[in-house]
Amino acid sequence: MPDKSTHFGFQNVPAAEKAGRVREVFDSVAGNYDLMNDVMSLGIHRLWKRLVTNMANLQPGQQVLDLAGGTGDLTRLIAARTGPLGRVVLSDINNAMLQAGRRRLLDHGVANTVEFVQADAEHLPFLDASFDCITMAFGLRNVTHQQQALVSMYRVLKPGGRLLILEFSRPAALLRPAYDFYSFNILPRLGGLIAHDAASYQYLAESIRMHPDQETLKGMLESAGFEDCDYHNLTAGIVAIHRGYRF
């Protein structure tokens, strides 16, 4: 039975409320999401996403699901790899983010080759063994029941398919004091100045600390059925790419 309570940042809230609270966060920040990503990471998030597509070993004609795809940065890179004969689905639980993604991809001339599906990662509305690859960038920590979502992802992967999750993680010990100062003192102020929403970026900092570390998430992938699981730390472990296969 799913837990009756869960964390929303550092708060303990009823599990049934978390998805709604996360939706409010992304409804608020959708319009400035890309700008804030560039400011927060000094643009490095774009390199992280390119590394995901490189590690995914995507081939023309393959079918790929980009979960929590938001404004479509990763989707655009994927579509360039799978080509006109491929199938790319951008899925997000948040409609404001999904519409922002549609607009962004239209601007880049990519939207006509992408499907847009509003869906909950815990209950994916796709047939079993539908996709060659699933990607998820900075979305898993916002899911209420993460293990259930991983099981759902495993179900819709084809045998031989792979999952890649790009997520904030546990940085190297020497970096943590400076990283904590930035996260809790600078980041919310930037959110207030640029997105006019300091509280949502306070939640971001807190949600990162509540997310499983590298080894724990690797174990969760294995428990969901994934094999040959590994992870690759980026930027001293501030983020990590987790990868697992369905055989």
Task: From residue 158, give the alpha-carbon distance in Å to each of 74, 134, 202.
Answer: 21, 10, 38
The whole-number pLDDT of residue 1 equals: 46
Q: Measure the CA–CA gap between 204 and 168, rounded to whole angstroms.
A: 10
The whole-number pLDDT of residue 3 equals: 62
Q: Measure the CA–CA gap between 96 and 101, rounded to whole angstroms.
A: 9
Q: What is the DSSP string of 188-236?
A: HHHIIIIIS-HHHHHHHHHHHHHS--HHHHHHHHHHTT-EEEEEEEETT
What are residue 87's DSSP bridge partners?
63
For residue 119, what are the contacts with CB-CB under 8 A and spacing of at least 6? 91, 92, 93, 125
CATH topology of domain 5-245: Rossmann fold (3.40.50)
Q: Measure the CA–CA gap between 99 and 85, rounded to whole angstroms.
A: 24
pLDDT means per 10 residues, the chain with 247 residues, are 81 94 93 92 96 97 97 96 96 95 93 93 98 97 97 98 98 96 96 94 96 98 98 98 98
pTM over 0.85: yes
